[in-house]
């Protein structure tokens, strides 16, 4: 299992493409991953460009057979996401904490390997 921790104070136009590139690079360097967790603990705001990037990341990961999860999403960001279709299309889950995400995914992987 590969865990990439990318943190930004704001997900918005200037860094949205960088986020996509960073995720794509991480996946390319680790072709055996099945789950990708984006830790959002430092993200306080999100704009339309960043939302479009999250949608593109979700789609690209889905096409690669990788489940996209998010953890530690703050209230204002979650409120913004709830007003879109993104959460309905997210291939994975939004976890309250990174620990919860890793624990749940690890349990799922262990269950699948039995």
Reported as a single tens digit per residue, the pLDDT across 62-112 is 999 999 999 999 999 999 999 999 999 999 999 999 999 999 999 999 998
* pLDDT tens-place string over residues 26-45: 999 999 999 999 999 988 88
Number of domains making up the chain: 1
22's CB contacts (< 8 A; 6+ apart) are 4, 6
Does residue 4 lie within any of the structural domains? Answer: no
Q: Is residue 47 part of a domain?
A: yes
Give every CB contact of residue 45 below 8 A, 6+ residues apart in sequence: 10, 11, 12, 76, 77, 80
Q: What is the CATH number of the domain that holds 44?
A: 3.30.750.24
The boundaries of the domain holding residue 41 are 10-113
- The chain-wide mean pLDDT, for the chain, equals 89
């Amino acid at each position: 299992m590969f865990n990439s921790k990318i943190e930004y104070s704001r997900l918005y136009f200037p860094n949205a493409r960088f986020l996509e590139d960073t995720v794509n690079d991480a996946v390319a360097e680790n072709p055996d991953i099945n789950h990708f967790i984006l830790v959002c603990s430092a993200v306080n705001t999100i704009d339309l460009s960043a939302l479009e990037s999250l949608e593109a990341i979700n789609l690209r990961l889905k096409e690669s057979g990788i489940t996209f999860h998010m953890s530690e999403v703050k209230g204002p960001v979650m409120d913004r996401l709830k007003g879109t279709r993104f959460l309905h299309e997210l291939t994975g889950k939004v976890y309250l904490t990174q620990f919860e995400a890793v624990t749940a995914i690890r349990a799922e992987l262990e269950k699948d390997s039995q």
